[in-house]
Amino acid sequence: MKNNILIIEDDQDIREGIRILLEGEGFAVEEVSNGMEGLKKLSERINLVILDIMMPGLSGLKTCEEIRKISYVPILFLTAKSKESDKLIGLMAGADDYLVKPFSYAELFARIKALLRRHQEYDKELHPVFTEDWIEKHGIRINTTHNAVLLQDKEVRLTDIEYRILLLMMRYPTKIFSFQNLYESIWEEPFFSTSANTIMVHIRNLRTKIEENPQKPRIIQTVWGKGYRLG
């Protein structure tokens, strides 16, 4: 079965170049030129969204926020902005990855494959079936085979990255995870100093979903100078 990719990009040349690349690799591709049309095209059959940040009308950031209200499909941002602060804003809006223009198609294709690989176990069912392996700590139950998380028996919807971070920490509850540990385990890429900010954004987003008081986290605790551990 083909993976379906939605491209939301106002630059026609970039849009068509990406489409030709992906179709040549066997993907099914849909493309639109603005955020509003992109939201209309979004459906359960879309496996990944490539989203430009700088677009007229509904911006890429706002489009990403709207997508996240209804879906946790992987989102890859394309942008001309290269500052680390711009990357963090994109991740906080709900993106999974970030690619700066101009980019090589080899790098784009590598990012797409990595996102699809990490997302392949995502469970789209709203009510998980309790027939598989679960880990339970701090009132949280997490399925070890697909993205299903319960907090005090209520479902918590996590992005694929958030789920993988939480599952890793639940599996090794006594381990202190450095930024490098987390990044290389979850992203499966070499760690650089700027990658620490990416980890912090995803930890903050995860805490808002599972902590009673995210400002005073009880479940995912910060070990100053070392990283994070399960409380």
Place of tokens 């879309």: 46
What pTM was computed for the model? 0.62
| Contacts of residue 83, Cβ cutoff 8 Å, sequence gap at least 6 | none
Q: Residues 16-34: what's their mean pLDDT?
A: 93
Q: Is the four-CA dihedral 167, 173, 179, 182 of positive or negative sign?
A: negative
Beta-bridge mates of residue 229: 221
What are the structural domain ranges in the chain? 4-119, 134-230
Its CATH class, for the domain covering 4-119, is alpha beta
What are 84-126's pLDDT values in tens digits?
677 777 788 888 888 888 888 888 988 898 888 877 654 444 3
Q: Which CATH architecture has domain 134-230?
A: Orthogonal Bundle (1.10)
**Separation of alpha carbons 20 and 84, rounded Å:** 30
Q: What is the pLDDT of residue 39?
A: 95
Give the phi and the psi of residue 142 in degrees, each rounded to 5: -130, 130
CA distance readout (Å), 207 to 51, 120, 135: 26, 24, 18
CA distance readout (Å), 204 to 73, 115, 144: 20, 21, 22
What are 35-91's pLDDT values in tens digits?
999 999 999 899 999 999 888 889 999 999 999 888 889 999 988 876 767 777 778
Q: What is the pLDDT of residue 44?
A: 87
Least trusted range by pLDDT, from 17-21, 85-89, 143-147, 214-218: 85-89
Parallel/antiparallel/unpaired status of strands 28-32 and 149-151: unpaired
